[in-house]
Amino acid sequence: MIEDEQPSEGEIYRFARGEEVRVYKLRVVTGGTELWRITLRPGQPDAAIKEEDFTDVDVAVRYFEEIERTLIAGRWRRISESSI
């Protein structure tokens, strides 16, 4: 089951609403870090989109906090969080 899966490499958040799950992952690239959002829906292919490029840690942290606030306000429920 998707909700019970262990966080994968680079994963920072996993949120669910209904049957849909959103996974937020970091990917280190030359010159910075990319933030990817993977959307998982039963019976459908996974969908991935690059949300942002970061070169500054402080900016990334503020962005993650904003993602979390927005999802919680939209009635998403956190099902995992990385210790990054």
Distance CA 22, CA 6 (A): 14
Q: From first to last of the 84 residues of the chain, give the pLDDT tens digit.
A: 344 444 467 899 899 999 999 999 999 999 899 999 999 999 999 999 999 999 998 998 899 999 999 999 999 999 986 654
Tally Cβ neighbours within 10 Å of residue 3: 12
Q: Where are the domains of the chain?
A: 2-79
pLDDT of residue 1: 31
Q: Go through the chain and tell me how many residues it has.
A: 84
DSSP string, 3-22: GGSPPPTTEEEEEEETTEEE
pLDDT of residue 76: 97
In this structure, the dihedral spanned by the alpha carbons of residues 52, 58, 63 and 64, taken in order and rounded to 10 degrees, is: 110
